[in-house]
Amino acid sequence: MSTHTHGGPVQETSATFIGMPAFPEAAREALANTQQRKNLRHATHTIREKRAAVVAELPAWEALRVAGADAKDEALTHLADYLEQLEGALTANGATVHWARDAVEANRIALEIVRAKEVEEVVKVKSMVTQEIELNEALEEAGIHAWETDLAELIVQLGHDRPSHILVPAIHRNRSEIREIFMREMAKVGRPAPEDLTDDPARLAEAARLHLREKFLRAKVGVSGANFAIADTGTLVVVESEGNGRMCLTLPETLISVVGIEKVLPTWDDLAPMMQLLPRSSTGERMNPYTTMWTGAHDGDGPQDVHVILLDNGRSHVLADTVGREALRCIRCSACLNVCPVYERAGGHAYGSVYPGPIGAVLNPQLRGTTSEVDKSLPYASSLCGACFDACPVRINIPELLVELRGRVTAEGGHPAESAAMKAAAWVLSDPKRLAGAQKAAGLAGRVIGDRTIRTVPGLGAWTSARDVPTPPTESFRQWWARERGDDR
């Protein structure tokens, strides 16, 4: 039986997210954490080098990128039709489909399902969308424990932390820090870590496996997301590296999958390029270690009660934007994070969302709007170097979207100081005499300041607190030319 919860497949909504400090403040804290910066640099450069090697093996890589982008664009252009087709296929195979406008509705639906099963805990396979809607917090508030089973997510959960990366949520932690977290926290929530635990990766993984095993075996309800949802067959796809997803998706009697509406693909043929693009772009591997696919519920094989919550949470708003909808192509590979100089230094926490890095800088302001300080600042969290577009496996032109969003923020009066500065610059540059006067004034300022460094500028404290202002040159090019060539033209 299919359940249309709260109307049809695509509704105009605004997203519900947690609020975090504005980007400049959080970024300054990250820049001061030298250990975190070292961890981020090591991890991102390692993944980047692996990715470059496996991508270079495919002479048709650009054709794959185009195929991936085309598949996503086709789905987004006719999203309502494909979502209804997906619902029909899921329903025909015994799944129950729910529609959720926002985080509040999605959490309420999931909570009602869990409560009906009369359980006090669920196991989860890594799902960014459940972090987006804060499902764990909603379950905990209702007295239901949600156990993260992905190793990196477990580290974040035990460390009372927030994810810092799309693919590797605990990328900001090193091995020694992870060992300390396991030794301190595991005993509080289940099987304690071995007393002789070292920071060897194999030993840390073994400790996590032993800690989680009992939770897998006794869990009655599992929660997942989906990397892709195939409309014509109703098949959901999860790719992962550890096998924890396979345990979550097959052992519990009830499975709840929370899926963003942009995850749909029209056909199985469209999945083929994605299965080549995603592992190479995310982990630098030729193929994914574990790929689990399920189509509804089947007698004697896996969960018998399957629920799929199709979540909007602002996605319809992004879809309606003919420029911004390109961001919905994202397949959550994290390639843009690994090449971004801003992310490498600031870390994921600075972005105020589960979606960090360049894609977060364009997706979050569109999902949430630009009313908060963090969302106003995110489009500026980039050097516009273009590396993110080159790395994106589905050709999202992130630099173009960043410039578009900067224009919107400015038009909305989001940065009055910058707006005033641009108007002043336009006034000066529109008249040669005014420009010459400004250059002379700058030269005089440069001679007065001398070799001193400008640390702060009135009205630009937040900007200058993280960087020095260049000292004005004592002489402009025009003045140099006149002095050297005797021509003041």
pLDDT above 60: residue 390: yes
Region 333-352: mean pLDDT is 90
Residues 380 and 446 both lie in one domain = no
pLDDT at 420: 75
Is 281 among the domain residues? yes
Region 420-448: mean pLDDT is 87
- Among 8-12, 338-342, 401-405, 462-466, the minimum mean pLDDT is found in 8-12
What are the tokens at 8?
A: 């049809």
Is 183 among the domain residues? yes
Assign 3-state DSSP to the chain and report helix, strand, coil percentages, each to 5. Answer: 55, 10, 35
Q: pLDDT band at residue 489, thresholds of 50, 70 and 90? A: low
Region 456-475: mean pLDDT is 69
Region 457-463: mean pLDDT is 60
Range among 209-218, 256-265, 283-292 rated most confident = 256-265
The type of residue at 149 is T
Is 3 among the domain residues? no
Q: pLDDT band at residue 265, thresholds of 50, 70 and 90? A: very high
Residues 222 and 341 both lie in one domain = no
pLDDT above 90: residue 144: yes
Which residue is it, tokens 């015994």? 94
pLDDT at 162: 85
Is 122 among the domain residues? yes
pLDDT at 6: 40
Q: pLDDT band at residue 439, thresholds of 50, 70 and 90? A: confident
pLDDT above 90: residue 384: yes
Q: Which residues are 98's β-sheet partners?
A: 309
Residues 119 and 251 both lie in one domain = yes
pLDDT digit string, tens, across residues 357-376: 999 999 999 998 888 778 88
For the chain, the domain total comes to: 3
- The residue that leads in pLDDT, 20 or 227, is 227
pLDDT at 23: 54
pTM of the full predicted structure?
A: 0.83
Length of the chain: 489
CA dist 70 and 105 (Å) reads: 31
Is 4 among the domain residues? no
Range among 21-30, 69-78, 173-182 rated most confident = 69-78
- The residue that leads in pLDDT, 299 or 138, is 138
Residues 243 and 302 both lie in one domain = yes
Domain range holding 431? 427-485
Residues 181 and 68 both lie in one domain = yes
CA dist 224 and 127 (Å) reads: 6
- The residue that leads in pLDDT, 345 or 67, is 67
Is 422 among the domain residues? no
CA dist 37 and 357 (Å) reads: 14
* Cα within 13 Å of Cα(372), Cβ side: 21
CA dist 40 and 274 (Å) reads: 27
Q: pLDDT band at residue 18, thresholds of 50, 70 and 90? A: very low
What are the tokens at 106?
A: 């999605």
- The residue that leads in pLDDT, 215 or 87, is 87
Domain boundary among 313, 347, 370: 313
Calculate the average pLDDT of the chain: 87
pLDDT above 80: residue 415: no
pLDDT at 7: 42
Is 462 among the domain residues? yes
Residues 213 and 290 both lie in one domain = yes
pLDDT at 136: 94
Residues 290 and 267 both lie in one domain = yes
φ, ψ of residue 133 to 5 degrees: the values are -95, 0
pLDDT digit string, tens, across residues 56-109: 999 999 999 999 999 999 999 999 999 999 999 999 999 999 999 999 999 999
pLDDT at 168: 83
pLDDT at 330: 97
CB 145 within 8 A of CB 139: yes
Residues 350 and 379 both lie in one domain = yes
Q: What is the DSSP letter of 327?
A: G
CATH number of the domain where residue 177 is located: 3.40.50.10420
CA dist 335 and 355 (Å) reads: 13
Region 376-382: mean pLDDT is 88
CB atoms under 10 Å from CB of 404, counted, come to 17
Is 186 among the domain residues? yes
Q: Which residues are 305's β-sheet partners?
A: 254
CATH number of the domain where residue 340 is located: 1.10.1060
